Amino acid sequence: MRLIVTEKNNSARRIAEILGAGAKEASSYKVPYYTWSDAEGDHLAIGLKGHVLNPSFPDGYSNWQKTDLHELIDAKLIKEPTDKNVLRALRKVAKDATSVVIGTDFDREGELIGLEALSEVLEVNSDLKDKVKRARYSALTKDEIERAFANLDDLSYDLAYAGEARQDIDLIWGATLTRAVSLATRRFGSNFLSVGRVQSPTLGLIVERELERRAHKPEPYWEVLARFQHPEEAFEAHHTVDRFWKRDEADAAVAGTKGPGVVSEIGSRKVNRRPPVPFNTTSFAAEASSRLSITPSRAMRIAEDLYMDGFISYPRTDNTVYPSSLPTRELVASLVRIPEFDAAAPLLDGELKPTRGKKESTDHPPIHPTQAVNPGGLDGQHQRVYELIARRFLATFGKPMITESTRAEIEAGSETYFVRGSVVVDPGYAAIYTYARSADEEIPKLEEGQELELEGEPWIVDKETQPPSRIGQGKLLEMMEERGLGTKATRPDIIQKLYDRGYVFGNPPSPTETGIAMYDAFKRYVPRMATPEMTAELERDMDEIAGGEISKDEVLEISRQMLHGTYEEVAHKEEDLAKVIWAGMDEDRILGPCIVCERAGRRHEDGSPNMLRVIRARKSGKRFVGCQGWEPDNPDACDVTFPLPQRGDVFKLEERCSVCGETPRLKVVPLRGRPWNLCLNEECPSMEEMRRRRAEREAARAAKEAGEKDDATADGGGADGAEADAARVDGAGTKTRSKRSARGRRKAGSTRSRSSRSRSRAGS
């Protein structure tokens, strides 16, 4: 029997469907497999669940406090099974095999997964040693699978070792430095601070931008606008001076403007925008993020689903040039038969000449649809992602988009104004790649010498220069790629990890103070970990291993030596490093000045305001917000407290709420569901609005439930995580807080009993 091992169950099933008409499904240890027979004999296809083995430290290194980190660095790694059932099933079916085909994904990671599986197979059936073949395919389509199985190849051990080296290095570096930093800052258990070879420099990109934003000093400037009458429609024109840096100059421009204006110059030009190049992983994920607002990690998961279903080609690729073997005409012809894509039908009238990107490689083609599917048949985000890929593919054969922009100048007194319009003359590729189509901005028809009366007075708009904007997730992926940080497969997960560890929040990601401090500490004390250079160097080593120029063991040895040195530096400066990180974590707990203390004139001895901060009650472990002005046994001290949701993460959104101006406002990121904003002031209009909407939803649900009373399966708990948490805050706080906050505000500083304070401390 020929054993075919694939990376996932879906691909085993697809291969069985394609190669063995009427293949039968069975299972072993709950792992499905597929069997069929043909002229060549019996076949069995089984799918893994990704990696079957993971590198790990042997027993004896698990105690963080007792393990010497130099020993940890040199520890001989072992392999641990990731899923025992998959291994049992694989070993069982391997016993009867007479040959093996490794059919895992066609990349470094897939080669390694194949090698892992093979080592297990050979353990139970060593006769197979010389009967191993590799099937390399880029899409789960009939043509591609048949081609791959007709041209079986050999497993590339070097490629697998390169993947293995990366895995080992990531484990050793990550574990050592994560432990070193967590120990230095005394963060144990689930609160540990993670450090990663790729993760830390990526955080650096986000932090550097944030620091630029903070360093930005807004500079005021003024713009001058005027409105002119026109037989078609009055329109607005902008002074030809873009920005007046002095107010009196803007005033002078207004004073010098006299009607009627005379159209002095009209110019128009055509702009050709070239069609986009084929998608590789990075440009795909970036586009999904910017055009569809789907995060890169989510977009990749969806693309993997679409690949597994045979709808698109393998989504992990750097290539941006279609191979000549791609049946482009056939694909275009089948796509344009779907009504959604029929705008591309004219492409078939001529020669199909696709655009080419800068990167060309031979492993996988650029991401493209492999099958024409009616997107309406896919669910929500899968539909949008498939459409994006299909439209992009069609667009790469398209004509340029031609827009005509017109600029007219109008002289009015001593001043000159201009107005600009832009109209799409020929949408070209944008007819199918609709995301790129620019909206028309039309202006009335103007002629040189035409006189136009002013409508009202010209006016001045106050503006100020803006800081550089935050880096969106799509842009971040591109920056990681430019710097060689991570691989096309790991980049989205790395970004997700920064969120999971609380180093960044929001979208686009902003760093928390802890995240900034982590980066700052590394830049100061372990600069090697804060910059992308080291990683880029390692990536080059991986390529050399894959190319057979250097052995995996040599690379690991060099890396370990480097890490010994790095850890030595960390240990040496442990205290300073911890101080920097602690200061950041403290910052994150500080939310903003306490308005009650402010009104009562209470402040720190140095004159700085008493701040509200997140506190964890020592006994119950519950968190709440309290004021730095609180002192035990002082009846005149500030006893303001606010409850917090107990689950999920909270971040400072504003020191003082921009809606009510009373208290800090937080962002709550629940474990499940969407993040939401929490103003500590219960009477804030934003919170009233939230309660009103929730009441409406509850009423609607109650009405629905009443209508479905007889239906025993009616779901009573429809609230998502965010709303459920919001309910919990109010539930905990309403009784004492409305009284407290009302009183706190009116009678700031008045004597309050300690008992209510301790009750709320314990109970919040």
List active site positions: 314
**Sign of the CA dihedral with 84 first, then 89, 95, and 99 last:** negative
Q: Tell me whether residue 629 or residue 675 sits nearer to Zn ion (CB atom).
A: 629
Work out whether 627 is an interface residue with Zn ion (CB under 5 A): yes
- Contact residue for Zn ion among 152, 292, 333, 659 (CB under 5 A): 659
Token pair 């293995």: residue: 164
The number of CA neighbours under 13 Å toward the Cβ of 552 is: 15
**How far apart are alpha carbons 102 and 550 in whole angstroms?**
25
Nearer to Zn ion, 412 or 597 (CB): 597
Q: Given the rule CB under 5 A, which of 331-339, 385-393, 545-553, 619-627 is the region that contacts Zn ion? A: 619-627
Is 86 or 594 the residue whose CB approaches Zn ion more closely? Answer: 594
Does 714 help bind Zn ion (rule: CB under 5 A)? no
3-state secondary structure of 142: helix
CB of 655 to Zn ion, least distance (A): 12
Which residues 526-545 are close enough to bind Zn ion by CB under 5 A? Answer: none
Measured distance CA(393)–CA(320) in Å, rounded = 11
| 657 binds Zn ion per the rule CB under 5 A | yes
Rg of the Cα trace of the chain? 32
Q: How far is the CB of 742 from Zn ion (least distance, A)?
A: 15
Amino acid at 671: L
Rounded Cα gap, residues 733 and 763, in angstroms: 9
How many Å from the N-terminal Cα to the C-terminal Cα in the chain?
A: 65
Cβ 751 to Zn ion shortest distance, Å: 15
Which residues between 283 and 302 bind Zn ion (CB under 5 A)? none
Residues 6+ apart with CB under 8 A from 304: 315
d(CA 101, CA 107): 16
Q: Is 594 in the site for Zn ion (CB under 5 A)?
A: yes
Q: Which is nearer to Zn ion, 442 or 636 (CB)?
A: 636
Q: How far is the CB of 343 from Zn ion (least distance, A)?
A: 48
Q: Which is nearer to Zn ion, 254 or 659 (CB)?
A: 659
Task: For the CB of residue 725, give the shortest distance to Zn ion in the complex, in Å.
Answer: 18
Nearer to Zn ion, 24 or 693 (CB): 693
Q: Judged by CB under 5 A, which stretch of 278-286, 294-302, 366-374, 660-668 contacts Zn ion?
A: 660-668
Select from 233-241, 273-281, 385-393, 603-611 the region that touches Zn ion (CB under 5 A): 603-611
Distance in Å, CB of 209 to Zn ion, minimum: 28
Asked if 172 contacts 196 with a C-beta cutoff of 8 angstroms, the reply is: no
DSSP three-state, residue 77: coil
Distance CA 282, CA 303 (A): 12
For residue 190 the two structure tokens come to 């689930």
Of 306 and 627, CB closest to Zn ion: 627
**230-233 own/partner pairs: CB under 8 Å, 24+ apart:** 230/444, 230/446, 230/452, 231/444, 232/444, 232/445, 233/444
Q: How, if at all, do strands 99-103 and 132-134 pair? A: parallel
The 3-state DSSP class for residue 302 equals: helix
Per CB under 5 A, 237 contacts Zn ion: no
Tell the smallest beta-carbon distance from residue 743 to Zn ion (Å).
13
Least Cβ distance, residue 108 to Zn ion (angstroms)? 51
Amino acid at 537: E
Binding piece for Zn ion, criterion CB under 5 A, among 80-88, 375-383, 607-615, 735-743? 607-615
> What mask of x and - would describe binding to Zn ion in positions 671 to 700, judged by CB under 5 A?
--------x-x--x----------------
CA angle 191, 196, 197 (to 5 degrees): 170
Count of beta carbons in the 10 Å neighbourhood of residue 507? 14
Residue 175 touches Zn ion, criterion: CB under 5 A: no
Nearer to Zn ion, 373 or 680 (CB): 680
- Decide: is 367 part of the binding site for Zn ion (CB under 5 A): no
Site for Zn ion in 630-649 (CB under 5 A): 638, 640
Binding to Zn ion, residues 47-86 (CB under 5 A): none
Q: Looking at 610, 741, 760, 764, which residue binds Zn ion (CB under 5 A)?
A: 610
3 state DSSP class of 693: helix
Distance separating alpha carbons of residues 279 and 320, to the nearest angstrom: 6
Contact region for Zn ion (CB under 5 A) — 129-137, 179-187, 487-495, 627-635? 627-635
Query: How many positions of this chain bind Zn ion (CB under 5 A)?
Result: 14
Q: Which of residues 408-467 bind Zn ion (CB under 5 A)?
A: none
Least Cβ distance, residue 652 to Zn ion (angstroms):
13
Between residues 109 and 639, which has the closer beta carbon with respect to Zn ion?
639
629 binds Zn ion (CB under 5 A): yes
Q: Pick one of 660, 726, 732, 748: the residue that binds Zn ion (CB under 5 A).
A: 660
Is the link from the previous residue into 275 a cis peptide, with omega within 30 of 0?
no
Question: Quick one: which H or E segment has residue 254?
Answer: helix 247-256
Beta-sheet strand order (sheet of 649-654): 649-654, 665-669, 676-679
- Torsional class of 323: left (φ above 0), alpha (ψ -120 to 50), beta (otherwise): beta
| Cα–Cα nearest to 48, from 100, 106, 78, 5 | 5
Q: Which is nearer to Zn ion, 485 or 684 (CB)?
A: 684
In whole angstroms, the minimum distance from the beta carbon of 481 to Zn ion comes to 41
Given the rule CB under 5 A, which of 28-36, 500-508, 594-602, 732-740 is the region that contacts Zn ion? Answer: 594-602
Distance of CA 593 to the CA centre of its chain: 32
Q: Which is nearer to Zn ion, 231 or 601 (CB)?
A: 601
Residue 502 contacts Zn ion per CB under 5 A: no
Tell me how far, at minimum, the Cβ of 597 lies from Zn ion, in Å.
Answer: 3
Helix (H, G, I), strand (E, B) or coil at 259: coil
- Contacts with Zn ion by CB under 5 A lie at 594, 596-597, 610, 627, 629, 638, 640, 657, 659-660, 679, 681, 684
